[in-house]
Structure 1
């Protein structure tokens, strides 16, 4: 088992404790009476949300989890796609009922949108090409001015690169910005950048999808919790939190972790 997988499963275990399983499973959930929930994602963040290269179907941990949440709440899901850089504002304005994209629960974002309870815990890792030998920790990366990091602006990965790896300058020319996380990973593969920071969930997805192409180096940085986002004062937060609690307690999230982080392999 890789160190990445150990960190991922350990983090997931923190949220999927079996304490109080019987009471949580037996508790009746709110009935949304067939309500349609308009949910949005970027569909470009495997294994949480992405387009299956073989079937073309939108799949991933978040799709499965939220579809199950809606089912238990007697609701339907209408899935929509949007770019990461517009997602939070679009949800804040009420264009969508709920958003998800491995969104870290942060104080500044709480000023814009409401968050659900966390559904997953993750950490930041340094993703590099499989043959990388020039550095294996943030200090060594920072010391070599020729090394570049790829990031998607406004993400936790970007801010971790700025403040925990480099010098705190958000306009540092060593950071190359990309419209999507997937494009930053393509740049890494092509040699246009030398490192991309990613959470443990996504790093596991890419390593499995592209054997002998990527690897993780160094120790995990930081600790982040992912949550669904809603417009302020949304009446969906409480019922979805109730469902999250139940899915953690009855082992559903454990099964999804196994499916997407251990068993599933993307078709190359």
Structure 2
């Protein structure tokens, strides 16, 4: 969905965009008195959140951002993990207080959960093997009838594949479905599919971790805004939004973007 008219999109590096919001200072933020909050994530979306292959630690942009939000709002955060397929419903059922895994803000999802304000904008790109030379955009891919796309059902890449690359048929046999994004990338590397659609956030992380096996090609096929999710009517939405605005206003978001999208190297 598009950002509200009051938001001004400000470009950042590598296809990421921050949204300028009214400045919020530390004294504007509510004190939630050490409230315990359970945040659920997938840990399959570098560099937003993933398990460090060396230390086994859960790390990433979203962890850093949420930890900073927790400090400023005086909340105590516990992290748990679940699959993407289960995440939106489990948060909707209030099994967890907040969900984070680069979740695209969409109207259909708003029927089940409330979203925070956008904390990041990313563009949809084509992830392919590094030796791929048969296509370099959605149109040329769609014209090659023997090529396959790997996707997760119900995700933004799935719908982009269906409506922007193929023929609008959600049952098109050229789309091979996988339970996780990581599984679709493994299938790509193994030659079982020819392309995986990903936003620039996850795609850049997987390319850096691939030791030259993968690359991103083509122009962006669209953009999407990411937000945290909550059970409908959650009283955490307003304070989290205030904290997001504060992190943007004081440069913390810029620092996190530099750390995770420019400086951090997967596997090093």
What TM-score range do you get, normalising by the shorter chain?
over 0.9
Q: 1 CA distance for matches of 2:257 and 2:203?
A: 14
What aligned pairs does 1:210-225 form with structure 2 within 5 A after superposition?
Answer: 210-225=210-225
Q: 2 CA distance for matches of 1:114 and 1:26?
A: 24
Matching residue of 1:246: 246
Distance 1:244 1:266, change over 3 A: same
Matching residue of 1:124: 124
The answer to whether the Cα contact below 8 Å between 1:11 and 1:120 also exists between their aligned partners in 2 is no
Secondary structure class of the residue paired with 1:235:
coil
Matching residue of 1:256: 256
What aligned pairs does 1:61-140 form with structure 2 within 5 A after superposition?
Answer: 61-140=61-140
The answer to whether the Cα contact below 8 Å between 1:12 and 1:254 also exists between their aligned partners in 2 is no
Matching residue of 1:206: 206
Matching residue of 1:4: none
| TM-score between both structures, scaled by the size of structure 1 | 0.93
Say whether 1:51 aligns with 2:43: no
Matching residue of 2:190: 190
Q: Which runs of 5+ in 1 are unaligned?
A: 1-6
Compute the displacement of 1:12 (Å).
3.9
Compute the displacement of 1:26 (Å).
4.8
Matching residue of 1:169: 169
Residues 96-131 of structure 1, C-alpha deviations (whole Å, 9 max, x = no match): 000011100001111110000000001100110111
Q: Which runs of 5+ in 2 are unaligned?
A: 1-10
Secondary structure class of the residue paired with 1:266:
coil
| TM-score between both structures, scaled by the size of structure 2 | 0.93
The answer to whether the Cα contact below 8 Å between 1:8 and 1:200 also exists between their aligned partners in 2 is no
* Stretch moving more, 246-255 or 205-214: 205-214
Residues 17-53 of structure 1, C-alpha deviations (whole Å, 9 max, x = no match): 4x86xx5235421111000110000111111111111
Matching residue of 2:34: 34
* TM-align CA RMSD: 1.5
